[in-house]
Structure 1
Amino acid sequence: MVRTIFAALTCLVVCLTAFTTQAAEQPNVILIMCDDLGWGDTGFNGNTVIKTPHLDALAREGMILKRFYAGAPVCSPTRGSCITGRNPFRYGIVHANTGHMKPQEQTLAESLQAAGYRTGHFGKWHLGTLTKTVRDSNRGGPKGAAEYSPPWQNGFEVCFSTEAKVPTWDPMRKPKGKASSRGWAALEANAASVPYGTHYWNQAGEMVTDNLDGDDSRVIMDRAIPFLEQSAEEQKPFFCVIWFHTPHLPVVAGPKYRAMYADADLYHANYYGCITAMDEQVGRLRARLKALQADTNTMLWFCSDNGPEGNTKAPGSAGPFRGRKRDLTEGGIRVPALLVWPGKIKAGTTTDFPMVTSDYLPTVLSAAGLPVPADRPLDGINLLPVLEQGLTERTQPIGFQFQNKAAWMTQRYKLLKTGKKRDVKYELFDLLADPDETNDVSDAHPKLKMKLMDQLEKWIHSCALSNQGNDYK
């Protein structure tokens, strides 16, 4: 009898130990993304005006991703690629405020939640409306009910989310009267104001009305940090998506942050200041992770959803690259990015390996020891061989589509398609020799160009079939 009890207890201890070891090996995952932050808008990419000390510190702790690409040159499509591993043209989110996350899509949050992760979304969603009853943001309310697809129906159990953009300071308010789409001076406490028109919602589908004043990045982080703390208390791995609104227009910086750029005009001071305020919250997050002793087993990614605002007079910088938001040249899709993963990623390193937001899903699932969906085409790849084994060449090209433009990018070359029907034009650029994309090398590589054209058109056709529902049969 004693031997039987002892054997049973031994088995129980072994099982519990195995479970604990497996849980300990599954990394926490944080995906941070800014909105319209240009490649050249951070200190770790060489900006000497905008103060980003906390992001720069993270870059020193981890790896700078020099060739990291947003899945699209605009907001919503890139966000979809982050959580599906698929190009947004496969499920109809081809532009901002277009389509919604379909229930048939398997999101990263759903896969991780099923494996025991706590999942949270904080900030901008932009993958569907968040209410069917109240007029909200761009499409929310009865008229946009068909586009209802909130994060809490896509695998996120804790949410503090908006449908779309808000001002970067006092996010629920704007000045009474005509307000500039660029932004305005931070409102005084008793200043005449009116509701901005976009609301924050929680996972119960309830409008949030408290703690919404001041810096919007801080407002978001005030909700994200308790989620991390609760996860640590429950000893559960977590998947935390923090999608800042900064620095999407309208940009507004609080007095403290605007004063840091006193020599700049209002527009530029607001832009620079709201980025510095966001950076401060990234530092706050990192400090809390360390205090919770959760930093060593956390994979923290940072990027932007596309290049800087397309108007060339806007303050954002695409660095040395041609184009901006809405362009498929490098300035519209190559974004500032870094990865911190202590124990896995050597501090102070950089990589030129081409990566894209669609790579998140296969990479994170693989890191967690979970299966990657095999029942539908994925456009992302597992990056662990790059991060852990030093793989240097990407064999699966990256495809992009937007309006009447498309691009197909290999390790070295990028084929750019522009124009409509009879006016279609294909250009070929050597990104390693010509990252500015100023020299079309089509004549020097005619066979390569034809090969890439064929691959691009087949991929576009594949995306069209996916969007028709073929992947859901």
Structure 2
Amino acid sequence: MAGIVGMSVSPVDGGAAEPEKPNVILCMADDLGWGDVGYNGNKVIKTPHLDKMAEAGVRFNRFYAAAPVCSPTRASCLTGRHPFRTGVFFANVGILRPEEVTIAEILKKEGYATGHFGKWHLGTFTATEKDGNRGGQPELVNPPTDHGFDTYFSTEAKVPTWDPMLVPKKFQGEENRHFGWNAITDKAMAKSFGTNYWTPNGKATGNMEGDDSRVIMDRVIPFIEKAASSEKPFLAVIWFHAPHLPCVAGPEYAAMYNEQDFHMQQYAGCVTAMDDQMGRLRAKLMELGINENTMLFFTSDNGPERGAPGSAGPYRERKRSLYEGGVRVPGIMTWPNKVKAPFVTDAPVVTSDYLPTVIDVLGLKEPANKLDGVSFLPLLEDKPFTRPSPIAFASQNKRAVNDEVYKLYFDGRKTELYDLEKDPGERANLAKQQPEVVKSFKEKHALWFESCKDSFEGKEYGIKSLETLNQSWPDPANGVIQKKSKKKAKK
């Protein structure tokens, strides 16, 4: 997408009266698998509020994260572009560059209040102290207010999902450092986890105990109430940390799963706690009388962590993989003013579709530069919807292309083709039987990949941040390579 100066996003010509602008809420879990919710068949984890949301609106059976890891998917949600265009190639790689234009910037120009809440992971908040994964490096300071958000209550990276500021107690006898977390029982002995919440005024303090999803929602609710009282449309981007490791359930939530092993008690309890906050959010929208005109989305940034109790359902592999289990994620939305009757769709939709869909809803012309997402507004209006081109994926040295029927996967060692309608679990490789499909998909992917490189290098607009961040285009054989400055950042 072009930079602010060169971007042209304007209303579509027409003399009709301007409709009321809908509120937009983009909710996203962290490492939640396709099979971790009740409406997708999970018989253990309780998600009653998400299940009710799915029953009331649209359930996307083929909803995709743009990437199999965290930061790249987040960049796609905000820009409508694949992360290889924006330089956010992988987790903790690059930042959301200043030249990119986000959904927050577009909606702010349309009179929206804009807020980000939860995990940011697209840059840091401090140039002077160690914080999260990358805090303390001046060139990486990149808060949400640099990208169109009026306010934020956000972290640079992960935090424990219970008592988020403290290192959780380790379960005795547990060897795996990622698991066996338990709620803090002696706060006087606890150590700081090292990842802070930040606001435009600096480091956040107060109300940081207990369930992290509630801590986040405690900041979301006043933001929504303020916007509603001023009769101003709003964009709220709510990116939960749950159930990313360290996954910790509060005692009351863990007790709901006493019949499960310790790890599942923590994981399931954490997911149910997040589900409660989704229920709280929906109840507040109804209380304020704004639910009917609110586009409320929920998804996950990628599939479940490897070795975690999470479920990818019937799909192959998990987080970091471009097989279905790594990128096919829960996807639901409600918008009562538009979606009068609930429905389920098998149409492939991806996180980069958010921005073009919202632009379409508002009657704005699509920006002139390259988007990867498309508007799925026709789906919501019960009109024919077909993607003009397949969804292309790239992560490290892995590549994939999906259309309505086929999926091509290749990584330099193997080439595989699957019929997702007949074989969603990706078991029967059809590459030898369908060489013409393989050839066509590879050609399309090559053209798309070259287009991504052009975007990354600034051929759509001049990118000054390339030199500042000292980034290079990823080596196709080895995955991401990011050049590092020899100078150490000042602490």
Same fold (TM over 0.5): yes
CA contact 1:417–1:426 (8 Å) conserved in 2: yes
Q: Who is 2:142 aligned against? A: 149
Take 1:145 and 1:177, find their aligned partners in 2: how far apart are those partners?
Answer: 34
Q: 1:283 to 1:177 in 2, by over 3 A?
A: closer
Correspondence for 1:470 among 451, 459, 470: 459
Q: Who is 2:433 aligned against? A: 444
The one-letter amino acid of 1:152's match is T
Q: Who is 2:324 aligned against? A: 330
The one-letter amino acid of 1:358's match is S
Q: Who is 1:165 aligned against? A: 158
> Following TM superposition, by how much is the alpha carbon of 1:166 offset from its aligned partner in structure 2, in angstroms?
0.2
Going by fraction, where is helix more abundant, 1 or 2? 1
Q: Who is 1:197 aligned against? A: 194
Match runs of 1:379-458 below 5 Å: 379-419=372-412, 424-458=413-447
Q: 1:361 to 1:64 in 2, by over 3 A?
A: same
Q: Who is 1:9 aligned against? A: none
Q: Does 1:301 align with 2:297?
A: yes
CA contact 1:176–1:192 (8 Å) conserved in 2: no
> Following TM superposition, by how much is the alpha carbon of 1:191 offset from its aligned partner in structure 2, in angstroms?
4.9
Deviates more, 1:173-182 or 1:91-100: 173-182
Q: Who is 1:10 aligned against? A: none
Q: Who is 2:480 aligned against? A: none
> Following TM superposition, by how much is the alpha carbon of 1:145 offset from its aligned partner in structure 2, in angstroms?
1.5
Deviates more, 1:389-398 or 1:261-270: 389-398
Q: Who is 1:345 aligned against? A: 339
Q: Does 1:316 align with 2:316?
A: no
The one-letter amino acid of 1:328's match is L
Deviates more, 1:321-330 or 1:364-373: 364-373
Deviations for 1:214-244, whole angstroms, at most 9, x for unmatched residues? 0000000000000000000111000000000
Q: Does 1:65 align with 2:60?
A: yes
CA contact 2:33–2:313 (8 Å) conserved in 1: yes
The one-letter amino acid of 1:270's match is Q
Take 1:377 and 1:150, find their aligned partners in 2: how far apart are those partners?
Answer: 24
Q: Who is 2:234 aligned against? A: 238
TM-score under structure 2 normalisation?
0.88
Take 1:418 and 1:183, find their aligned partners in 2: how far apart are those partners?
Answer: 34
CA contact 1:123–1:244 (8 Å) conserved in 2: yes
The secondary structure found in structure 1 opposite 2:408 is strand
Q: Does 1:182 align with 2:176?
A: no
Take 2:93 and 2:365, find their aligned partners in 1: how far apart are those partners?
Answer: 30
Take 2:35 and 2:170, find their aligned partners in 1: how far apart are those partners?
Answer: 34
Correspondence for 1:250 among 223, 246, 249: 246
Q: Who is 2:47 aligned against? A: 52
Match runs of 1:210-229 below 5 Å: 210-229=206-225
Identity rate of aligned residues, in percent?
Answer: 55
Take 2:187 and 2:119, find their aligned partners in 1: how far apart are those partners?
Answer: 27
The one-letter amino acid of 1:370's match is L
TM-score under structure 1 normalisation?
0.91
CA contact 2:294–2:335 (8 Å) conserved in 1: yes
Q: 1:283 to 1:429 in 2, by over 3 A?
A: same
CA contact 1:113–1:155 (8 Å) conserved in 2: yes
Runs of at least 5 residues in structure 1 that lack an aligned partner in the other structure: 1-18
CA contact 1:26–1:369 (8 Å) conserved in 2: no
The one-letter amino acid of 1:81's match is S
Q: 1:175 to 1:27 in 2, by over 3 A?
A: closer
Q: Who is 2:481 aligned against? A: none
The secondary structure found in structure 1 opposite 2:36 is coil
Deviations for 1:369-420, whole angstroms, at most 9, x for unmatched residues? 223211x21100011112113324323211111111011111111111112x
Take 2:141 and 2:55, find their aligned partners in 1: how far apart are those partners?
Answer: 41
CA contact 1:185–1:266 (8 Å) conserved in 2: no
The one-letter amino acid of 1:58's match is M
Take 2:220 and 2:263, find their aligned partners in 1: how far apart are those partners?
Answer: 29
CA contact 1:119–1:158 (8 Å) conserved in 2: yes
Deviations for 1:12-71, whole angstroms, at most 9, x for unmatched residues? xxxxxxx9x73x521100000000000000001110100000001111110111000001
The one-letter amino acid of 1:118's match is A
Take 1:410 and 1:211, find their aligned partners in 2: how far apart are those partners?
Answer: 46
Deviations for 1:196-217, whole angstroms, at most 9, x for unmatched residues? 000000123x000110000000
Q: 1:177 to 1:396 in 2, by over 3 A?
A: closer
> Following TM superposition, by how much is the alpha carbon of 1:183 offset from its aligned partner in structure 2, in angstroms?
4.9
Q: CA RMSD in A?
A: 1.8
The one-letter amino acid of 1:197's match is G
Deviations for 1:282-321, whole angstroms, at most 9, x for unmatched residues? 000000000000100000010000000023xx20000000
Runs of at least 5 residues in structure 2 that lack an aligned partner in the other structure: 1-14, 463-491
The one-letter amino acid of 2:64's match is Y
Match runs of 1:106-117 below 5 Å: 106-117=101-112
Take 2:41 and 2:341, find their aligned partners in 1: how far apart are those partners?
Answer: 18
Q: Does 1:118 align with 2:107?
A: no
The secondary structure found in structure 2 opposite 1:120 is strand
Take 1:55 and 1:322, find their aligned partners in 2: how far apart are those partners?
Answer: 24
CA contact 1:60–1:347 (8 Å) conserved in 2: no
The secondary structure found in structure 2 opposite 1:353 is coil
CA contact 2:35–2:42 (8 Å) conserved in 1: yes
